[in-house]
A and B are shown apart, each in its own frame.
Chain A
Amino acid sequence: MSVIAFILLGSVVLLPAAGLLALRWATSTGQFRCPDKAALLPFDEVEPVGMETDCILGGNRR
């Protein structure tokens, strides 16, 4: 039981620490700095903003 307890207590410390490190990493690499750029990430030159994809139903639509 004691080994398990140490593992669990260790994870209790490590997990929030990992979360905080992730947050620090995100701020230091500028993940929160330019949200305008981040919001455009699903788009690229082939499928730019304004291009609708997945028009299947309704037959005669564009």
Chain B
Amino acid sequence: MINQSQTLQNKTLRALLPGDALTGGGTEGGKKAALAEIDASCRVPVLFFFLSGLAWLLAGTVLALVASIKLHTPGFLAGWEWLTFANVRTAHLNTVVYGFASQISVGVTIWLMCRLCRIPLVAPGLITVANLFYNLGVTVGVGGILIGDSTAIEWLEMPRYATPILFVSYALIAVWTIVTFRLRAERHLYVSQWYLLAAVLWFPWLYGTAQVMLLIEPVRGVVQAAVNWWFAHNVLGLWFTPIGLASIYYFIPKVIGRPIHSYYLSVLGFWSLALFYNWNGMHHLVGGPLPAWMITVSIVASVMMLIPVITVAINHHFTMVGHFGKLKYSPTLRFMVFGAVSYTLASLQGVASAVRSISEVTHFTHHTIAHAHLGMYAFFTMVMFGAMYYILPRITQREWPSNGLISLHFWGVALGIVLYVVPMSIMGFIQGTMLNDAAVRFLDVVQFTLPWLKLRTLAGLLLAAGHVAFVINVGWLLVRMFEPYRKPVVSILTGEAETVAAAKLP
């Protein structure tokens, strides 16, 4: 019975696939598609996601710089009421989280899913349309924040009229990603697929629950704070982290041509992350008026995160051993390894500052902000940059135009983020000890932070330079895409894949 209906369902779904992609007979998934065919099917939607994501990255960078400058020079742009610190900082968070990071995530997810399922993308046109609506949603949301319509709920500041557009377009994307998975030609799942599928399903659950419990039918009292932090922490932990890890698990073996060190460890890492991460959010409320057990459970779960983090770290390190020389030649590997190391560091820092005695010092200081950027930027964004360096030449069938710009991008953002995170972590800790000392005047604490905040603006400028270099390189790549195909100067693809490219494109 069940088998029959499943077969029927699969037949209906398979009718959606283009042409002869799945003409294979008996096996459920059908014939495996060639890499070039898969890449070509992803070209339009993934390019759309990457390009709009990068546009939001530039917007987010500008907003971040404005916010950073305002913290040490309050008079900066003070005459424009829609650019007050509260608006700019909030708009920065929402552009980079929903505009940049989420869109790049979806692009990478789609491409990885197709590659690992070994079939072309189902309904690329629909996904592209959904992407356009998603961008409309982000534009409305960020615009709403700038004109003062923020809901003032952290990570959910977008006004209520923006969220349905986001949710529906996201649902469309997610549904077609899952349909692609359902029709896969490869029965066995790679660990990356576990992470991607989980992330695709977890995110609407998080976002939907938080919307219902905080905006549509708000719960009362401290439960609001509990739901808010459950959501905000899980967006990082159950949406961005799994996609980042899925990318690392795919790209490091792929670039160095060597399978992952231990598949057992990767399975253990996935299931322990699924078990523990969801409980972590309440450690943001240490010292708050919540029942002691909620916070204690959260602290224990945060410390338990050492299990997935250390298994992942061991796995990636032992996969890389003996191949570190390759960092010199592959931009993807550089960004991936930087991200993987940052993931370990960010998690260890997070575990430490979840503990009550350390949270007493670091809470409400710049230490938390440094930690957020270590996780969101040094880990996740770097991994996404690495993935784009691998994916873009393959879907456009063109080589990266400038190695110099690649180096400028890497060193700009790598130095920038180190210069951001390290001093801010130290400064936040000192700031926390000063705030806890009743003998120190509050104004002295503020004045102590000023030189460090200027240093942060400098770090932000370095990041911005890196972003501009990357965007120029991507733009150049696109220009090349519309030029007649020429032999690349330096190749990254295998000869075979590119022969197909040469035959396909004029």
Do the two chains touch directly in the complex (Cβ atoms below 8 Å apart)? Answer: yes
A interface residues, Cβ below 8 angstroms from B: 1, 4, 7-8, 11, 15, 19, 23, 26, 29, 31-32, 34-44, 46-59, 61
A42 touches B253 (CB 8 A): yes
* B497 close to chain A: CB less than 8 A: yes
With contact pairs A31-B188, A35-B267, A37-B188 given, residues A51 and B255 touching in the complex (Cβ less than 8 Å): no
A50 touches B257 (CB 8 A): yes
* B328 close to chain A: CB less than 8 A: yes
B330 touches A47 (CB 8 A): no
Which residues of chain B from 267 to 286 have any CB-CB distance to chain A below 8 Å in the complex?
267, 271, 274
B330 touches A46 (CB 8 A): no
Q: Give the interface centre of A32, A49, A56 by most chain B CB atoms within 10 Å.
A: A56
Across the interface, B403 reaches (CB within 8 A) one of A8, A31, A49, A56, namely: A56
Collect the chain A residues with CB atoms within 8 Å of residue B115's CB.
42
Q: Give the interface centre of B264, B330, B497 by most chain A CB atoms within 10 Å.
A: B330
A39 touches B271 (CB 8 A): no
Tell me how far the C-beta of B294 lies from the nearest C-beta in chain A, rounded to whole angstroms.
15
Tell me how far the C-beta of B218 lies from the nearest C-beta in chain A, rounded to whole angstroms.
10
With contact pairs A46-B494, A51-B257 given, residues A36 and B263 touching in the complex (Cβ less than 8 Å): yes
* B360 close to chain A: CB less than 8 A: no
B329 touches A53 (CB 8 A): no
A8 touches B209 (CB 8 A): yes
Q: Give the interface centre of B116, B187, B259 by most chain A CB atoms within 10 Å.
A: B259
Q: Can you name 6 A-B residue pairings with CB atoms under 8 Å?
A: A29-B187, A31-B188, A47-B254, A52-B255, A53-B257, A57-B403
Contact with A along B179-213 (1 / 0, CB 8 A): 00000001111111000000000000100010011
A41 touches B255 (CB 8 A): no
Q: Which 8 A-B pairs have the closest CB atoms?
A: A35-B263, A41-B190, A39-B259, A39-B263, A54-B330, A55-B329, A4-B217, A52-B257
Collect the chain A residues with CB atoms within 8 Å of residue B7's CB.
none
Collect the chain B residues with CB atoms within 8 Å of residue A7's CB.
212
Across the interface, B259 reaches (CB within 8 A) one of A31, A32, A44, A49, namely: A49
* B35 close to chain A: CB less than 8 A: yes
Collect the chain B residues with CB atoms within 8 Å of residue A35's CB.
262-264, 267
For B, the interface residue count at a CB cutoff of 8 angstroms equals: 54
B interface residues, Cβ below 8 angstroms from A: 32, 34-35, 115-116, 118, 186-192, 205, 209, 212-213, 216-217, 250, 253-260, 262-264, 267, 271, 274, 326, 328-333, 389-390, 399-400, 403, 406-407, 490, 492-494, 496-497
A58 touches B494 (CB 8 A): no
Instruction: Give me 17 other A-B pairs in contact (C-beta within 8 A), A55-B326, A57-B406 excluded.
Output: A1-B217, A8-B213, A37-B188, A38-B190, A42-B115, A43-B254, A44-B35, A46-B34, A46-B35, A46-B494, A47-B494, A49-B258, A51-B494, A54-B332, A56-B490, A57-B407, A58-B328
A42 touches B331 (CB 8 A): no
Collect the chain A residues with CB atoms within 8 Å of residue B186's CB.
41
Q: CA separation between A51 and B255, bound complex, in Å?
A: 8
Across the interface, A43 reaches (CB within 8 A) one of B189, B259, B328, B496, namely: B259
Collect the chain B residues with CB atoms within 8 Å of residue A47's CB.
35, 254, 257, 494
Tell me how far the C-beta of A16 lies from the nearest C-beta in chain B, rounded to whole angstroms.
10
Collect the chain B residues with CB atoms within 8 Å of residue A15's CB.
205
Collect the chain A residues with CB atoms within 8 Å of residue B187's CB.
29
Across the interface, A4 reaches (CB within 8 A) one of B212, B328, B493, namely: B212
